[in-house]
Amino acid sequence: MYWRVGFAWLRSCAVDLGQNQSSSSGLPGSDERLLFGCIVACPLQDCGGIMSALGSDSWWRKTLYLTGGALLAAAAYLLHELLAIRKEEELDSKDAIILHQFSRPKSGAPSLSPFCLKMETYLRMVDLPYQNYFDGKLSPQGKMPWIEYNQEQVFGSEFIIDFLEERLGVSLNRSLTPQEKAVSRAVTKMVEEHFYWTVAYCQWVDNLEETQKMLSVSGPLSDLLRWILSHLTGGIVKREMYGHGIGRFSKEEVYALMEKDMRTLATLLGDKKYLMGSKLSTVDAAVFSHLAPAMWTLPGSRPEQLIKGELINLAMYCERIRRRFWPEWFVDLEDFRYTDTTESVNSASKLPDLGLYSRTDTFHDDTHSHTSQTPRDPPSPDSDPTGHSLYDSDMDTECSDTDQLKC
């Protein structure tokens, strides 16, 4: 489909905008619609001597200034809408962890970014209070998430964890042997440097329309901006995947690599409670966050079929961590198994922003001195009086894993 519209400005220039739905971005398998336009500055018919009054050598300058100014204004407006900062009170990072990350999506999940979900889940696992800041500001490397603590800025989830362990003395890997730490790091790198790209392909290339519906964009041009943002992200993912190397394979080959990684994780997990045994470790934050899209944000996809079907131990693992560290993240039990019929993502419950969070505020643990910042919901029917899920039959009933982290 091809359309074109033109209009004149002071009868001295014409602006021509068009859309070609069948044009391609040049990437393999791309079927993206592209917007394009051109400014045609040419003298039109001089009626009433207007053109002669402007002068033969000045009309095009004025045309350039006027059209350029209009385009700059339009670009500034679009940029403001794309990067709209949620108005929040400025926070002082003195003795407080401020977590900068992407806004909550409409899917009910905390984040569409595995690394943002990893970082927030880790903070809950080590029981460190933090404040979310959805300001849309990327790190100097152009990535999310990043933190501020006592006026210091730390970028990259791995460096953030190292910083918190050194500065605040917390660690999920303290009980691991050197061999277990090596395995933990190897699994983390497999998930973050290989499996991540296959999930990103499924999310931002193969299921772009479904992902687009989950983006949280507000304003008068929200639909247009959501379309632009999703397609920009999809294009970036394609280019980065091609540079990585995995994007040079076919769709079937990418999914084959994804399945191998998922089967490897399922084999490593086996019937254990967590990846490294009965206690949490840092690798669990990484694996959980990268498996979360397959569980909750990619309905009908190949990874969902795997995790809710043949690799059900991974689904139980994800659900165990979600129930323990994300009590406000509502999930319908019907979503625990794969089905060909899925409801609209807009019907999912919106995840509330709890602000300053401490896991011990949710689970009644008297051994900590943190005070609750939010009202506590009454225990659900499937929870015992301590707030622990009855579905977790192997949940520790004596002392929480994180009670020993700060010793």
User: pLDDT tens, 323-358?
Assistant: 999 998 877 655 555 454 444 434 343 444 444 444
Using one digit for the tens of pLDDT, what is the confidence trace for 90-111? 555 577 899 999 999 988 899 9
* CATH number where 139 lies: 1.20.1050.130
Which of 3-12, 80-89, 259-268, 342-351 shows the highest mean pLDDT?
259-268
Task: Collapse the DSSP code of 250 into the 3-class scheme (helix H, G, I; strand E, B; otherwise coil) and give the result.
Answer: coil
Among the listed residues 306, 303, 338, 336, the one whose alpha carbon sits nearest the alpha carbon of residue 319:
336
> pLDDT confidence of 263, banded at 50, 70, 90?
very high
Q: Is residue 78 part of a domain?
A: no
Residue 112: per-residue pLDDT: 94
Q: Does residue 267 have a pLDDT over 50?
A: yes
**The predicted structure's pLDDT at residue 220:** 77
Assign 29 a pLDDT band (cuts: 50, 70, 90): very low
Q: What percent of the chain has pLDDT over 90?
A: 47
Residue 151: what pLDDT?
87
Query: Quick check: bond before 43 cis, omega within 30?
Result: no
Residue 219 pLDDT more than 90? no
pLDDT band at 360 (very low <50, low <70, confident <90, very high): very low
pLDDT per residue as tens digits for the range 34-73: 334 444 444 444 444 544 444 445 666 666 766 776 666 6
Q: What is the pLDDT of residue 225?
A: 87
Domain count, the chain: 1
Mean pLDDT of 267-293: 96
Predicted pLDDT of residue 383: 39
For residues 369 and 149, the model is more confident at 149
Q: What is the pLDDT of residue 70?
A: 63
For residue 194, being part of any structural domain is answered with: yes
- Whether 173 maps to a domain, the answer reads yes
CA 56 to chain centre: 54
Q: How do 2-9 and 146-149 pair as beta strands? A: unpaired
Give the model's pLDDT for residue 133. 92
* pLDDT-derived band at 272, boundaries 50, 70, 90: very high
**What does the pLDDT read at residue 95?**
79
pLDDT at 63: 66
Q: Residue 332 carries which side chain, given as an amino acid letter?
A: D
Phi, psi of 16 (to 5 degrees): -115, 120
Residue 375 lies in a domain: no
What order of strands is seen across the sheet that includes strand 146-149?
130-133, 97-100, 146-149, 152-155
Identify whether 200 is part of a domain: yes
Q: Is residue 212 part of a domain?
A: yes
Give the range of the structural domain holding residue 201, as residue numbers without chain letter.
97-326
The answer to whether the beta carbons of residues 116 and 133 sit under 8 Å apart is: no
Quick check: is 292 in a domain? yes
* DSSP H stretches of helix in 83-192: 114-125, 157-168, 178-190
N-terminal to C-terminal alpha carbon distance within the chain: 66
| Averaged confidence pLDDT in the chain | 73
- Residue 306, helix vs strand vs coil: helix
Sign of CA dihedral 26, 27, 29, 33: negative
359 confidence band (pLDDT: 50, 70, 90): very low
pLDDT at residue number 336: 52
Instruction: Read off the pLDDT of residues 156-193 as tens digits, 9 standing for 90 and up.
Output: 999 999 999 999 999 999 999 999 999 999 999 999 99
- 18 lies in some domain: no
Q: Calculate Rg over the CA atoms of the chain.
A: 26
Q: Which pLDDT score, from 0 to 100, does residue 46 have?
A: 45
